[in-house]
Chain A
Amino acid sequence: MDNLLEIKGLRVSYHTYQGEVQSVRGVDLEIGQEESVALVGESGCGKSVTGKSILRLIQAPGEILPGSQITFDGRDVLSLSKKELRAYRGGQASIIFQDALAALNPTMTVGRQIMENLLYHRKIGKREARAEAIRLLGEVGIPNPEKRVDQYPHEFSGGMRQRVMIAIAFACQPQLLIADEPTTALDVTIQAQIIKLLKQLQRENHTSILMITHDLGVVASIAQRIFVMYSGVIVERGSSDDIFYRPRHPYTRALLQAVPRMDQEGKQELNSIEGTPPDLIAPPEGCPFASRCKYAMPVCARLAPEVTDFGGGHRCACWLYHEMAPRVAELNDPDAAPAGEEVGQ
């Protein structure tokens, strides 16, 4: 399989007063052509940092550590020249953020913000770029685009602003879109519309999407494959079905159990995961989830878990699947696994 994007051993650290915060500690991830991949995890697990690294948007005091590898369409992203990097950013890969109001320049009309992309990457004239900006605004579902093109971001509603961001991101038909929590700041009905729009644009532009989110509901409706991230490492990866119906890692299971279910009658108590993630200035030697894991064994705290392959790309880093580990019935029995939430579109 020829992957569009391949990340190998990505490590990112932030140099702070307290010490080196190891945000991302060796992530492997790949995205195929026109594939949708989700990167799931809680706040601070390094998922956004991973996303930004793909566009080399990590700014000081952050740093992508040597030894990390990011290959896009056969080219080494981390060694692109300044000029190549500019053509890559916005031209071949683009990104949208959680808070569209903060991500849009408040003193520039949305039209000009879209035109900036077009003028640089497509080498077209101003008049043409403006017409194209209007067309793009219409395409992302903004009514009255001829008038809206000259307005400022604060004149748009939250959902409309995210549509503007999407128009900017898709302006040059990128091969890869990184969507960093694109719907988190929006209410549920708008979320569904935005996801639908992303899927539609993905089809039309043959774009691959890396969806970064903590919301498993969003993931279910868009991702073919899911990577579960915890404390800077990928703890489990697999197809959407694998993760939702056959989760292996205790963290993945706990995450799924924390999602409210619509198929249960009466009162249900939401499950939460006790404890907090480890301090990434001094990450634990063993499994980072060990301190919160109800199945933890002595080995978990001392040695980083080996990866067990369950076939079909479903892999999980957990000692419980080692041949010497005791079998935990509920982890190995598919029927005991929590079912994925149905999210209708």
Chain B
Amino acid sequence: MIKFVLRRFLELLLALFLIATATFFLTAAAPGDPLLSRTLALPEASRDAMYAKYGLDKPVLERYVITMKGMLHGDFGESVVYQGQTLQTILRDKLPVSARLGLQQLIFGVLVGLLLGVIAAVKRETWIDRCIVVFAVLMMSVPELVLGLIFQKYFAGTLKLLPVIGWPTGKDLWFGGWKYTILPTLSGGLLYIATYSRLLKTSILDVLDQDYILTARSKGLSEPRIVWSHIMRNSMIPIVTRLPVTLAMCLTGSFMIEKIFAIPGIAAYFVEAVSANDLSIVLGETVFLAALFITVIFLTDILYTIVDPRIRIQGGKR
């Protein structure tokens, strides 16, 4: 087990190094000059000083070495576009916003999804099951952008029940301004309802077909007991192992939702940084996201061994 964790950690470092290198050269090779608009009106001397400040006067390879060295100390460099901002300050300000929205979507989507999944499995082949299936397929095929716009038009526009855009900040950052969060939560959460209801239903039906359910019945166990110790435990395996990835996706936000609801989150900012050619921020955020996802996948592997005793981790090989 220790060997497994160690191996995974080394793999994580290697992956991050490769991702950072690739990102650095891709952004460096991208057309456009991040300082162009800010320096256009400046005299030549000031312009050179600006370029020197961000290290953009040096050759690419030298910049690469400086950047990688800084990264070892967690220093990704200052934002080229927003003065005084670094990756850390941006994450500190923006990540909680995306995280709250994501967590709300996750809790709402997964709970309702699992509930619908159980209902669909119990009422399989009835009109209730078919409605849930149709709903799920619809929600999976309609992009959240379209859902968001429709909700804005009807709930905010026509019915005037909820605000069109905006997001609680300041002291309301975590537990306030609920009415602003309803539409964004719905727009993103419906997808999770669809995914998780389908996932759980398929899984339950699969378990119901297994011989060990017949064995459980042949023992004279009560129906609740069969459902909890035999059906749910086994059908939750695919759910539990999928949750970490969903969680990571939620925490890091959705560009579409943040954009149309004017939410000051991390996803919208990331896309802005890319279009503004904000080199250090793009690089920093890419590495941050990569580290997050690799860690989540690692946790998923550990989780597998906890929920399914048939899977064992071996030190040397997978």
Tell me the bound Cα distance from A55 to B218 in angstroms: 7
**Is the pair A95, B218 in contact by a Cβ cutoff of 8 Å?**
yes
Q: Given contacts A108-B233, A154-B310, are A102 and B210 in contact (CB under 8 A)?
A: yes
Q: How far is the CA of A120 from the CA of B218 in the complex (A)?
A: 12
Determine how close the nearest CB of chain A comes to the CB of B218; give it in whole angstroms: 5
Q: In the docked arrangement, what's the CA distance between A95 and B215, Å?
A: 8
Interface size on A, residues (CB 8 A): 31
User: Does A94 count as interface, using CB distance less than 8 angstroms?
Assistant: yes
Binds B, one of A64-72, A81-89, A207-215, A229-237: A81-89
- Kindly state whether residue B211 has any CB partner on chain A within 8 Å: yes
Is A276 part of the binding interface, using a Cβ–Cβ cutoff of 8 Å? Answer: no
Q: Is the CB of B220 within 8 A of A87?
A: yes
A57→B218 CA distance, assembly (Å):
7
* A87 CB contacts on chain B under 8 angstroms: 220
Question: In the complex, which of the residues B220, B234, B309 contacts A154, with contact meaning CB atoms closer than 8 Å?
Answer: B309
User: Which A91-147 residues have C-beta < 8 A from chain B?
Assistant: 91, 94-95, 97, 99, 102-108, 113, 116-117, 120-121
The yes or no answer to A90 lying at the interface (CB within 8 A) is: yes
- Of A97, A102, A105, A121, which is within 8 A of B234 by CB? A105
Residue pair B220, A102 in contact (C-beta under 8 Å): no
List, in ascending order, chain B residues with CB within 8 A of A121's CB.
Answer: 220
Q: Tell yes or no: B212 within 8 A of A by CB.
A: yes
Q: Report the separation of the CA atoms of residues A311 and B309 in the bound assembly, to the nearest whole angstrom.
A: 56
Are A99 and B211 in contact, CB atoms less than 8 angstroms apart?
A: yes
Q: Tell me the residues in window 200-243 of chain B with beta carbons closer than 8 Å to chain A beta carbons.
A: 210-212, 214-222, 225, 229-230, 233-234, 237
Hey, what's the 0/1 contact readout for B126-149 against A, CB within 8 Å counting as 1?
Answer: 000000000000000000000000
B15 within 8 A of A: no
A156: Cβ under 8 A from any B Cβ = no
Tell me the B295-318 residues at the A interface (CB within 8 Å): 307-310
**Contact, CB under 8 Å: A85 / B230:** no
User: Are the CB atoms of A168 and B220 closer together than 8 Å?
Assistant: no
Nearest-Cβ distance from residue A1 to partner chain B, whole angstroms: 27
Q: Of B212, B219, B221, which is in contact with the most chain A CB atoms at under 10 Å from its CB? A: B219
Asked if B218 and A106 make an inter-chain contact with CB atoms under 8 angstroms apart, the answer reads: no
| Chain A residues, CB < 8 A from B221 | 86, 90, 116, 120
User: How far is the CB of B249 from the nearest CB of chain A, in Å?
Assistant: 27
Instruction: Given A97-B214, A102-B211, decide whether A107 and B220 contact each other with a Cβ distance below 8 A.
Output: no
Neighbouring B residues of A108 by C-beta, 8 Å: 229-230, 233
Within 8 A of A (CB), among B6-20: none
Chain A residues with Cβ below 8 Å from B216 are 105, 116
Contacts of A88 in B (CB 8 A): 220
- Are B215 and A106 neighbours in the complex by a CB distance under 8 Å? no
Per the bound structure, the CA–CA distance linking A57 and B233 in Å amounts to 22
Structural contact, A90 and B219, CB atoms closer than 8 A: yes
User: Of A57, A104, A116, which is in contact with the most chain B CB atoms at under 10 Å from its CB?
Assistant: A116
A52 contacts across to B, CB distance below 8 A: 214
Nearest CB on B from A215, distance (A): 20
* Complexed CA–CA distance, A308 and B308 (Å): 56
Q: Tell me whether A106 and B234 are in contact in the complex, defined as CB-CB below 8 angstroms, given that A97-B214, A154-B309, A154-B310 are known contacts.
A: yes
**14 more CB-based (< 8 A) A-B contacts, given A57-B214, A85-B220, A105-B212:** A88-B220, A89-B217, A91-B220, A95-B218, A103-B212, A105-B233, A107-B233, A107-B234, A107-B309, A108-B229, A116-B216, A120-B221, A152-B310, A168-B215
Q: Which 5 A-B pairs have the closest CB atoms?
A: A90-B220, A89-B220, A90-B219, A86-B220, A102-B211
30 contacts between A and B (CB under 8 A): A57-B214, A85-B220, A86-B221, A89-B217, A89-B219, A90-B220, A91-B220, A95-B215, A99-B211, A102-B210, A102-B211, A103-B211, A103-B212, A103-B215, A105-B215, A105-B230, A106-B212, A106-B308, A106-B309, A107-B308, A108-B229, A108-B230, A108-B233, A113-B215, A116-B219, A117-B220, A120-B221, A121-B220, A154-B310, A168-B219
